[in-house]
Structure 1
Amino acid sequence: MVKSILPLAALLLGSAFLVFAGGVNGLILPVRGDVEGFTATSLGLLGTGWALGFIAGCLRTPKLVARVGHIRAFGAMCALASIAVLLSLVLITPWVWVPVRALSGFCFAGAAMIVESWLNERTDAASRGRIFGIYTMVNLTATTAGQMVLTLGDARGFFFFVLAAMVYCLALLPTAISATSTPKPLTQVSLNLRGLWKNSPIAVFAILMVGVSNASFGTLAAVYASRIGFSIDQIALFASVPILAGAASQIPVGITSDKYDRRVVLIVIAAIALVADALFLFSGATHPMIILALSALFGATVFAMYPVIVAHANDHAEPGAFIQVSGGLLLVFGIGSIFGPTLAGYVMTSFGASYLFAVTGAAHVLLILFAVLRLKLRPSVPAEDKVAFQAQPLARGSTPETAALAGDATELDSEQAADDTTETSGSDSAR
């Protein structure tokens, strides 16, 4: 196990720096923006900007890498991400922060795709599951650490902006001095909505609603916590606890969804999430321990939905279509992430901070209703025909290369066999 990890240490370290900086930047912006008096609508637009940039990065980075190479492209992404953070410090206005946040999303997606492409190249089918698990845990730990570091200082100063910029630059070093060979071209996916809908209508609709819900919470959770009187330490906990709870819940949810109809499992999860939405919205609770407990319940449900939906879509997909289906659903999730934060920000500005959970609750209600309808229209997939459930990192940080890295061994083996056959045919022709 150690022998398989050591050659990838530089890539994992670079990814950890990248995600740590993203965690700092993603939390300091809404917290500082709220201190500066930005409206919730303006802060919601930060999430919209991020989603637009992230989708653009997923679509454009493969062409950029093909033109200039992996190392140069990765260096450019990290440098631009660092500049974006510093611009947010120098020019504190929503008119600058929103487009700069889009630039950050573009750079983050591009850099993550390049790291994952390297990992994918250096990982064989036998160790792929373990490496993907380690990669996911490294990113989860780094994200949490980046958010929790905000407990060490004052959000009104410059420290956290400079720290994020410095760590983005640090992410350059492991790959720049690594002897790891340059990988193959990056995975490209297209958004084929008709094909995705034909494959699984519930997957498309549900992933869109999850994008609305999760991006709204991910962007504006810190604003909600600030406006109910939380300290910076409590805000950092409120942002981190749901992520940890979501990671922990994926294993039992995955086991359950492999045994039962995934649509039923999804309905149950969404119903529990709806309970959390209602308690946030109507209970009037403000005690930190109660709010943190509710955030854990919320995170354990909403962050477990994405992998269940991806697994259900792949249950109906043709063999060998895992990457295209998963990558296409990721882009649909991104579309939901564009609209969700802006809508939630407007609702919070108009009605109050707790109405963030009116938006997430509406998304969960629509998801449940559509899932119930689909239960009546399409039979369940037999257990023996299901693909194996795979835990997934947070969808907002996933790229098409994540789907390639998480691809099942059967699909990857078949691709390798096809490559070997092509190479053999070429050799025979040469003879």
Structure 2
Amino acid sequence: MTRQLLPIAALLTGAAFLFLAGGVHMRLRPVRGGLEGFLPSQIGLLGTGWAAGFIAGCLTVPLMVQRVGHIRTFGVMAATAAISVLLNLLLIDAFVWIALRALSGFCFAGAMMIMESWLNERSTNRTRGTVFAIYMTINLGASTTGQMLIAAGDPGGLFFFVLAAILFCMALVPTALSTAAAPRPLVSTRIRLGPLYANSPVAVIGCFSIGMANGAFGTMGAVYGQQIGLPVAAIALLIATAVLGGALGQLPLGRFSDHTDRRLVIAATGVAAAAVGTSFFAFDPRDATRVIGMAAIYGVFAYPLYSLCVAHANDFADPERFVEISSGLILVYGFGTMVGPLASAGMMEWVAPRALFAFTAGVHLWIAGYALYRKMKRAPVPTEQRDAYESMPLPRATTPETAALDPRAERDEKAA
């Protein structure tokens, strides 16, 4: 197995640098924006800009690759992402930062898709599962590490912007020097909401709503931490523990959903996430240990919801539609992340920082209610006819090309 993985070692190294850069940049901008005196609504627009750029990258970068090739396009994406980071230091203005955040989201999506396309091309049916697992581990580990790095210094200085730019450039080096042949064309994604909704209304409404809640917490969680007086290290832990809590909650919730109607599990998980959000709003904790602990519990329920919705959609879909369904739901989730940060930021401005969790609680209750409503309208797929639940990476760091790399996509190719 080691000999089979050696040819993609350079690509995996480049992926690690890319996700480290993305993690540093993701957490740095909201924190630095707060230090610069940006309004919560302006910081919310940073999240909206990222999501808009990311979706645009998923839709348009495949066309760029067809015209100029993988290596040139990857070089442009990495270099432009580094430039966008450094421009933040020269142009400290909220609306300029929003535009630059959209640009970095576009470049990050493009670089990811090219990297994943290369990994997919270099994987065989025998190694695909291992490659996917290693890549997802790098994705989660490097992204979380990058976010935690801001606890090691002063986000009000130059260092972390320069570090993120260097890491984006370092992602280019192993990929540009790789001797691997250029892969097949990238996955081209069209948003076909009609067939997607007809296959599973719960999955479409759920993924959009989960995008709203996760986008709100992912962008505005740092602002919440700042406004209640948490130190930078605690703010970094607040987000990281929620993500790690989500990773821990995936397997037990998913396995339980294999043995019952998944919509019941979606509803129960939504209610649990809403209960934690309501506790944040009602009790307004300020102690760092309590806030971080509650964030971990929040993540246990909030983050697995996306995987549950995707599994529910694939229960009703033909096997050959796995890539179509999964990539379509990634984009639906992305549209939700465009709405969530701005809507929650408005509530935080008008009410209080803790209103962030009133927003997420309302969204999670809506998901639970809609899942129960749909349960009365449609019979579940018998358990013996379903595939076993598989956890999905957070869509904020996945593209339609990730779905093609997933080992379950082999069924798609065989059926076709």
TM-score computed with the length of structure 2 as normaliser: 0.98
CA contact 1:13–1:174 (8 Å) conserved in 2: yes
Which letter does structure 2 place at the counterpart of 1:405? L
SS at structure 1 position matched to 2:393: coil
Is residue 10–residue 175 contact of structure 1 (8 Å, CA) maintained in 2? yes
Given the superposition, is the C-alpha separation of residues 48 and 309 from structure 1 closer, same or farther in structure 2, using an over 3 Å criterion?
same
TM superposition shift of 1:350: 1.1
Match of 2:292 in 1: 292
Matched letter for residue 25 of structure 2:
N
Q: Distance in 1 between matches of 2:395 and 2:229?
A: 29
**How far apart, in 2, do the equivalents of 1:69 and 1:320 lie?**
28
CA contact (8 A) 1:125 1:413 kept: no
In 1: Cα distance, 2:304 partner to 2:166 partner: 32
1:157-172 pair list within 5 angstroms: 157-172=157-172
Q: Residue 273 of structure 1: CA displacement?
A: 0.5
Distance 2:267 2:412 in 1: 32
Q: 1:108 aligns to what? A: 108
Distance 1:343 1:358, change over 3 A: same
Correspondences of 1:343-362 after superposition (within 5 Å): 343-362=343-362
**Alpha-carbon deviation of 1:412?**
4.6
Find the counterpart in structure 2 of residue 8 from structure 1.
8
Which residue identity lines up with residue 217 of structure 2 in the other structure? F
Alignment match, 2:217: 217
The answer to whether the 8 A contact 1:330-1:400 is kept is: yes
CA shift for structure 1 position 100: 0.5
Pairs within 5 Å for 1:146-225: 146-225=146-225
Match of 1:96 in 2: 96
The structure with the larger Rg is 1
User: Are the equivalent residues in 2 in contact too, given 1:322–1:407 (CA < 8 A)?
Assistant: no
2:322/2:409 contact within 8 Å kept: no
Q: CA deviation at 1:407?
A: 4.4
Check whether the contact 1:216–1:341 (CA below 8 A) recurs between aligned residues: yes
Give the equivalent residue in structure 1 for 2:28.
28
- CA distance in 2 between partners of 1:253 and 1:405 (Å): 24
Q: Corresponding residue for 1:398?
A: 398
Deviations, residues 240-274 of structure 1 (Å, cap 9, x unaligned):
11111111221222211222211111111111101
The TM-score, its normalising length taken from structure 1, stands at 0.95
Q: In structure 1, what residue type is equivalent to 2:403?
A: A
Assess if the C-alpha contact under 8 Å between 1:125 and 1:412 holds in 2.
no
Contact 1:151 1:232 in 2 (8 A): yes
Q: For the residues of structure 2 that align with 1:410 and 1:12, how far apart are their CA atoms?
A: 21
Residue 126 of structure 1 contacts residue 409 of structure 1 at CA under 8 Å; is this kept in 2?
A: no
Task: Structure 2 unaligned segments of length 5 or more: list them.
Answer: none
- Per-residue CA distance 1:6-26 (angstroms, 9 max, x = gap): 211111111111110011001
Aligned amino acid, residue 292 of structure 1 = I
Using the alignment, how far apart are the partners of 1:304 and 1:165 within structure 2?
32
Shift of 1:388: 2.9
Distance in structure 2 (CA, Å) of the matches to 1:26 and 1:149: 11
State the partner residue of 1:78: 78
1:324-339 paired onto structure 2 within 5 Å: 324-339=324-339
Q: CA deviation at 1:147?
A: 1.0
CA contact (8 A) 2:321 2:412 kept: no
Deviation string 1:363-388 (CA, Å, 9 cap, x unpaired) is 11111111010111111111121123
In structure 2, C-alpha distance between the alignment counterparts of 1:396 and 1:366, rounded to whole Å: 21
Count how many residue pairs are aligned between Structure 1 and Structure 2: 416
Counterpart of 1:109 in 2: which secondary structure?
A: helix
The reply to whether residue 122 of structure 1 matches residue 126 of structure 2 is no
Amino acid of the structure 1 residue aligned with 2:205: F
- Equivalent in the alignment of 1:41: 41
The amino acid that maps onto 1:132 is F
Q: After superposition, what is the alpha-carbon deviation per residue over 1:313-332, rounded to whole angstroms, capped at 9, x for unaligned? A: 01111230000011111111
Residue aligned with 2:320, SS:
coil
Over 3 Å off, 4+ runs: none
Residues 323, 407 of structure 1: CA spacing in aligned structure 2 closer, same or farther, 3 A cutoff? farther
| 2-structure distance, mates of 1:253, 1:412 | 26
SS in 2 for 1:126: coil
> Could you tell me how far 1:413 is from its partner in structure 2?
4.9
- Aligned 8 A contact 1:125 1:409 in 2: no
Counterpart amino acid of 1:291? V
CA displacement at 1:301 relative to structure 2: 1.4
> Any idea what SS the aligned residue of 1:269 has?
helix
- Which residue of 2 is the match for residue 256 of structure 1? 256
Shifted more, 363-372 versus 382-391: the winner is: 382-391
* Unaligned residue ranges in structure 1 (runs of 5+): 419-431
Higher deviation after alignment, 150-159 or 251-260: 251-260
In the TM superposition, what whole-angstrom CA distance separates every residue of 1:132-182 from its partner, at most 9, and x where no partner exists?
A: 111111111101110111111111101000000000000000111111111
Quote the residue 1:372 is aligned against.
372
- What residue is the counterpart of 2:58 in the other structure? 58
Distance in 1 of aligned mates of 2:13 and 2:132: 14
Asked whether the equivalents of residues 22 and 143 of structure 2 are also in contact (C-alpha less than 8 Å), the reply is yes
Change (3 A) 1:262 1:189: same
Specify the code of the residue in structure 2 equivalent to 1:371.
A
What letter corresponds to residue 237 of structure 2 in structure 1? L
Partners of 1:4 and 1:291 in 2: CA distance = 44
Q: What is the CA distance between 1:409 and its match in structure 2?
A: 5.8
User: CA separation in 2, counterparts of 1:144 and 1:314?
Assistant: 29
Q: Give me the whole-angstrom Cα distance separating, in 2, the residues matched to 1:4 and 1:203.
A: 37
Superimposed CA distance per residue, residues 330-375 of structure 1 (whole angstroms, 9 cap, x where no aligned partner): 1111111111111111111111111011111111111111101011
- Give the aligned partner of residue 17 of structure 2: 17
Rounded to whole Å, the distance in 1 between the matches of 2:126 and 2:259 is 25
The answer as to 2:231 corresponding to 1:231 is yes
**Residue deviations 1:186-219, cap 9 Å, x none?**
0112111111111011111001110100001001
State whether residues 150 and 160 of structure 2, in contact with CA within 8 Å, keep that contact through their aligned partners in structure 1: yes
